[in-house]
Amino acid sequence: MKTKIRDVGNVRVLDIDGKITIGVGDLELRKQVEDAIAAGRLNILLNLGGVTHIDSSGIGEMVGCFTTMARKGGKMKLLNLTQKIHDILQVTQLITVFDVFDSENEAISSFKQ
Amino acid sequence: MLSSYENIELAERVLAELCSANMVESETTYWAGMALREALANAIKHGNKLNPNKRVFVHLALQAGHELRIEVEDEGEGFNPETVADPTAPGNLLRSNGRGVYYMRQFMDEVSFRAGERGGTCIELVKHLNSRRTT
């Protein structure tokens, strides 16, 4: 997994490529979110457009980050789900938990509401 | 293979090669690979409890046009799949674990568990290759 970090206004955007899977990507995702919180960035947008694989550990870490952000008074939202990632979230009904966007501008704007 | 997460990549590549050589659709290969990943992660983490001296045994069998059969066996202490909670139940939706077996059942056509010959658990995953179901 590779991550590019961007700050757009008050939103930390994480452009993720590759695999969010057990033992590698899941831990990297947690670290990126912890780093954002430590930097005072409580709005996080995960751009998953370049993610090829996410397993149950990656999904679990994403849910864990989502609840951590909520406890801190922040928000974590998702951008650019591929069909496969959408399907993976759909079958466990997590698609109903996350705010999901296809447009980065709309996603960024949604944090202001 | 040894109980290392890095070996999951190797096993998935072998499965992909097998499927490619037998003209299996890429979608089927992808979801079968995801199910294999989940089975191996379970075997390494929950079965062998990350003990690097314990092994995971993987058997792949493909009958072109008929079925893909995957067996993953660990050297752990056994596992009762009945104890796995439904991750889609409202109270479990935000849990950070407990989705692996559920995903395997979604990705494959048949999933079964039995006691392995070495005292651990053997997971058998089957994909019908004439099936149109992808998830």
pLDDT digits (tens, 9 = 90+) for B61-95: 999 999 999 999 999 998 888 888 999 999 999 99
Find the domain containing B107 and state its range: 6-128
CA distances from A101 to A76, A105, A110, B45 (A): 12, 9, 10, 34
The structure's pTM equals 0.93
The Cα of B87 is separated from the nearest Cα of chain A by a number of Å equal to: 7
Residues of A with Cβ-Cβ distance to B100 under 8 angstroms: 55-56
Residue of chain B minimizing CA distance to A67: B94
| Residue B1 resides in a domain | no
Contacts of B47 (CB under 8 A, 6+ apart): B54, B56, B74, B75, B76, B79, B120, B121
- Class of the domain covering A2-110: alpha beta
Mean per-residue pLDDT, A58-77: 96
Q: Using CB atoms, pick whichever of A22, A64, A92 lies closest to residue B87.
A: A92
Provide the CATH number for the domain around residue B45: 3.30.565.10
Q: Are residues B88 and A92, on separate chains, in Cβ contact within 8 Å?
A: yes
In a domain, B135, yes or no: no
Cβ-Cβ contacts under 8 Å, A66 against chain B? 94
**Sole residue written with tokens 């929950």:** B46
CB A9 within 8 A of CB A39: no
Please list every residue in chain B whose beta carbon sits closer than 8 Å to the beta carbon of residue A24.
Answer: 5
Query: Phi and psi for B132 in degrees, rounded to 5?
Result: -95, -10
Q: Does B91 touch chain A (CB under 8 A)?
A: no
What stretches of B43-84 show up as alpha helix (H) in DSSP? Answer: none
**Selected residue of A51, A57, A68, A69 to mutate for chain B interface (largest B Cβ count, 10 A):** A57
Q: Is residue B133 part of a domain?
A: no
DSSP assigned state of A79:
E
Query: Which residue ranges make up each domain of chain A?
Result: 2-110
- Is B134 contained in some domain? no
pLDDT digits (tens, 9 = 90+) for B43-69: 999 999 999 999 999 999 999 999 999
Complex ipTM value: 0.91
| Minimal-distance CA residue of chain A relative to B31 | A84
Q: How far is the C-alpha of B129 from the C-alpha of B68, rounded, in Å?
A: 7
Q: At B50, which helix (H) or strand (E)?
A: none
Q: Which residues in chain A have Cβ-Cβ distances shorter than 8 Å to B34?
A: 53, 55, 88
CA dihedral B83, B100, B29, B75 (to 10 degrees): -70
List the beta strands (DSSP E) in chain B.
57-63, 67-73, 110-115, 121-128
B113 in contact with A at a CB cutoff of 8 Å? Answer: no
Report the pLDDT averaged over residues B88-114.
Answer: 95
**For residue B79, what pLDDT is reported?**
82
In a domain, B67, yes or no: yes
